[in-house]
Amino acid sequence: MNRILKIKRTKMTLGILASYLVMMILVACVNQAETDPFGECPGTVSANASDVSLFYEPSKNYQYATESDTVKFDEFNVYLRITPEPTSDVSWMSSFPGSAYALSCAQLFDFKNITSIAVTLLAPYGGFAAGTDISKHINVSDELLLSELKDFNSSIAQYRLTINILPANESQLKTKTILTLKNGTQKIFESTSPVLLTN
């Protein structure tokens, strides 16, 4: 008799667990599961740029590469990051339980106060003298140069820069990044890359 009761209790427990599992799957936070299984992305947020910075990869121990590191040039990456200050409220619905966005979503910003971004050399690099504006030698996408970048809407506030200048072996890229704002002010960020090995 005890054995039959134990079997019934086990079956009941497993049944309850299975029911909870089914319930969790059915009410999972995906909007319109039939037509949009990956959810939707949040809208863009109006923002002003408050600062600019560069950082370098490859990273080591979850830290960006610094000027004291040495990296192979073909593994070297430069990223430009704009610091946003939202000017419009992010909807309270975006954090409401049951409202989920796709995992691949990144918050997009419409920057309203940027005129341009330029990068100049602080030291000779790849045959160019210090003081040279190298923005026309930097791609922010396959078809767009940094010098041509004027539309800062729907931006993720970060750009991977491709610098189309081959440096000498064991050299460093020393730059001044200038973020020019519509009110005439500038935000300046000076940085030095890791030592670049081209051989």
Range of 130's domain?
A: 45-197
Q: Do 168 and 79 have their domain in common?
A: yes
- We report the CATH number of the domain holding residue 87 as 2.60.40
What is the overall mean pLDDT for the chain?
Answer: 85
* Contact of 109 with 157, CB cutoff 8 Å: yes
Rounded distance, CA 72 to CA 65, Å? Answer: 12
Q: How many domains does the chain have?
A: 2
Do the domain assignments include residue 158? yes
Element (H, E) at 26: helix 2-26
What DSSP designation does 133 have? B
Do the domain assignments include residue 37? no
Rounded distance, CA 53 to CA 87, Å? Answer: 21
* Contact of 156 with 38, CB cutoff 8 Å: no
Q: Do 21 and 110 have their domain in common?
A: no
Do the domain assignments include residue 49? yes
What pLDDT, on a 0 to 100 scale, did the predictor assign at position 183? 96
Cross-strand partners of 118 = 178
Q: Do 68 and 159 have their domain in common?
A: yes
Phi, then psi, of 19 in degrees rounded to 5? -65, -45
Q: Tell me which residues of the chain have a pLDDT lower than 70.
A: 1-2, 5, 22-40, 89-104
Rounded distance, CA 165 to CA 163, Å? Answer: 6
Q: Do 49 and 10 have their domain in common?
A: no
Give the pLDDT confidence of 67-121 residue by residue, as tens digits.
999 999 999 999 999 999 998 765 544 444 445 555 567 889 999 999 999 999 9
Q: Do 80 and 157 have their domain in common?
A: yes
Phi, then psi, of 148 in degrees rounded to 5? -95, -10
